[in-house]
Amino acid sequence: MDYIGKKCPVCDKYFHAYDDIVVCPECGTPSHRECYQSIGKCINADKHAQGYDYQKDMKSSFSDDETGTVCKKCGTKNPENAFFCNKCGSTLNEPQFNSTQNVYGQPYQQTQNNQTPNNTQFPQGANVIMFDPLAGVSPNTDLGDGVTVGETAKFVKQSTPYFITVFNNIKNFSKSRFNFCAMFFSGGYLLFRKMYKIGAFITAIQAAMIILDLYLSYFINSSSVYSKFFEALYSYDSNAAMLHLSQLPQKELSMLGLYYAISALMLIMSIVIGACANRMYFNHCKKQIIKIKNETDDPTKLDEALRKKGSVNFPLAISLWITYLVISYLPLLFY
């Protein structure tokens, strides 16, 4: 049975999807394992003699005068017509509207040529999908240090549903998501998101590693000393490859080891950045929003300041991409 959204009778807290739940074998009463162990028995043990059955006597998570939808991820009670959880942003209901309804489910007063009053034309049978830039999270939700979701969305500007959901999960559950864009573009991605200090530092390190990697690659591929080793390696003859490797001079052996070490280090760095980027961006957003709020005396200009100093830096991203291409293809001029 699914107990998510029901309350533990011991601690009176909602069951979550990740909770360790034990069920009494006699009456079927569920409880958290820790709660069960704390009292050493089923909380309804005194009712067992009367044939108590939890399944028959199970009550709703809500009181008689309270209605709503329970989030199956975090157990939070939400308004009955909510589409997203107010706490974690998870989807509660999947709204679908046909071409004769607006986003509130009300019928359009259509005119000729199947047009709505604002001249928006919908093809027959099409669905209008509701888009929420805050991923269902209330704009007044506090993400910590007095920074609200609404302020963060104005600062982030690009991909707000993704980041609001991620930031909310970091705040409430200390769980983030792996950022594949940050993994592939690393320092460039951080600069793109205007994290200039850490982005410039990582970009400088990666640029040095890329240049050194390209130099070593050029040296290794242009030297005939490694030809027999790579020939055995590409033919999957490990014994011959190890034999030729052991016969390499110390200098060439060190160069080959450094080449593979740098390649491995670049991969590890990219994975670490991908895993940490969202948390770094979350802390960056909060720090910058607090700074902007302290520097803005006129509250009416706060929104404009958040949008201006936030968002992303497209010209810098394009410049870095062009620079990377130039560096990557530069060694071809020497082959």
Residue 103 has pLDDT above 60, yes or no: no
CB 303 within 8 A of CB 148: no
**Could you give the C-alpha distances from 187 to 114, 181, 231, in angstroms and in order?**
50, 11, 35
**Could you give the C-alpha distances from 85 to 68, 75, 113, 243, in angstroms and in order?**
11, 9, 38, 62
- How buried is residue 146: exposed, middle or buried, by Cβ count under 10 Å (0-12/13-18/19+)? exposed
pTM for this prediction: 0.60
Q: What is the pLDDT of residues 275-328, one digit of tens each?
A: 999 999 999 999 999 999 999 888 788 888 998 898 898 888 888 878 877 776
- pLDDT at residue 79, rounded to an integer: 66
Give me the mean pLDDT over the 12-16 stretch: 80
As a whole number of angstroms, the distance between CA 80 and CA 220 comes to 66
Lowest mean pLDDT among 25-34, 89-98, 182-191, 318-327: 89-98
As a whole number of angstroms, the distance between CA 14 and CA 11 comes to 9
Q: What is the pLDDT of residues 118-171, one digit of tens each?
A: 444 444 444 444 456 777 788 888 998 889 999 999 999 888 889 999 999 999
Q: What is the pLDDT of residues 218-275, one digit of tens each?
A: 788 777 777 888 788 788 888 888 888 888 888 888 888 898 899 999 999 999 999 9
